[in-house]
Structure 1
Amino acid sequence: MKLSQRIAIVDDERAVRSGLSNLLQSDGYLTCTFESAEAFLNDKNALFDVSLMIIDIKLKGMSGLDFYEEIKTYATPPPVIFISGHGDENMQRFAISLGAVAFLRKPIDIEVLLNHLQKAIRPEENT
């Protein structure tokens, strides 16, 4: 099955959503953005054709970690990269232990992000 390369970005900061979306689109990815976990969960088509999710840990309303726990209950959850301006090594270890692909601190190193995306979305190209 070929993945769509569509990435969902969930962050309560408009500048982060917009910046990541523009960056990823310029690299050839399709994106959809959401300002909260609730906005994502209330959109019946949000998970349709999503290859990967980028989720901020600290969201207004439901936290990014709680949101991820909810997503993991779906039949085929997409891989997740967490981002945070407030994270520490313990949070990073916890996020990875939950099954996240990566945990990146803001400001995000773009090359590191793109490398994680490549590995998560196109694993056959990294073998």
Structure 2
Amino acid sequence: MTASLLISIIDDDRSVRSGLSNLLQSAGYATICFESAEEFLNDEALENSDFVILDFKLKGINGFELIRRLEQSRPSPPVMLISGHGDEDMGKPAISAGAVVFMRKPIDVDLLLEHIQRVLAKRGGSP
């Protein structure tokens, strides 16, 4: 049996972290959650993450800045940027910043899983 792929969830809303973690674990992924970008950057999950789900609006380092920092580490995991504050126009800057997907909250869970599976399949991994 192969080890589960690790998805890091970075969101300052505990209920979002918990909900996403439960959903992804039920789909066969391993998850680890962080309240801030700084917490994530100081954890070994930075090196071990296969995929990152990142809220745009965080206290401290925001989503765009964390994506920039991740781009400096090679190989950097694919990042899905999520936001409850963004509008449809935020998608282009998110992708330009390095995110592979941008989704607005509330998250469509079926679409979320579809995006993750598609991105990981391109990189050669699946749950």
1:78 is matched with 77
Quote how far apart the aligned CAs of 1:119 are. 0.7
Any conservation in 2 of the 1:3–1:121 contact (CA below 8 Å)? no
Alignment of 1:43-62 (within 5 A): 43=43, 45-62=44-61
Where in structure 2 are the equivalents of 1:91-106 lying within 5 Å? 91-106=90-105
2:9, 2:33 within 8 Å by CA — same for their partners in 1? yes
Q: Does 1:32 align with 2:32?
A: yes
Structure 1 residues 117 and 20, CA gap change in structure 2 (3 angstroms) = same
Matched-pair contact (CA < 8 Å) for 2:68–2:98: no
Contact between 1:3 and 1:49, CA under 8 Å: does it hold in 2? no
TM-score with structure 2 setting the length? 0.90
After superposition, give the CA deviation of every residue in 1:55-99 in whole Å (9 maximum; x if it has no partner). Answer: 000001111111111111001000000110001122211001222
Report the TM-score when normalising by structure 1.
0.90
- Give the share of equivalent positions with the same residue, in percent: 53
Encode CA deviations 1:35-63: one digit per residue, 9 max, x unaligned.
000101122x1223211000000001111
Which structure 1 residue ranges, 4+ long, deviate > 2 Å from structure 2?
none
Secondary structure, aligned partner of 1:87: coil
The answer for the alignment partner of 2:8 in structure 1 is 8
Taking only aligned residues, the RMSD between alpha carbons, in angstroms, comes to 1.7
Q: How many positions carry a matched residue from both structures?
A: 123
Report the Cα distance in structure 2 between the residues aligned to 1:38 and 1:47, rounded to whole angstroms: 11
State whether residues 92 and 103 of structure 1, in contact with CA within 8 Å, keep that contact through their aligned partners in structure 2.
Answer: yes
Q: For the structure 1 residues 20 and 37, does the alpha-carbon distance in structure 2 shift closer, same or farther, using more than 3 Å as the test?
A: same
Q: 1:120: which partner in 2?
A: 119
> In structure 2, what is the Cα distance between the partners aligned to 1:67 and 1:29?
23
> Structure 1 regions of 5+ residues with no counterpart?
none
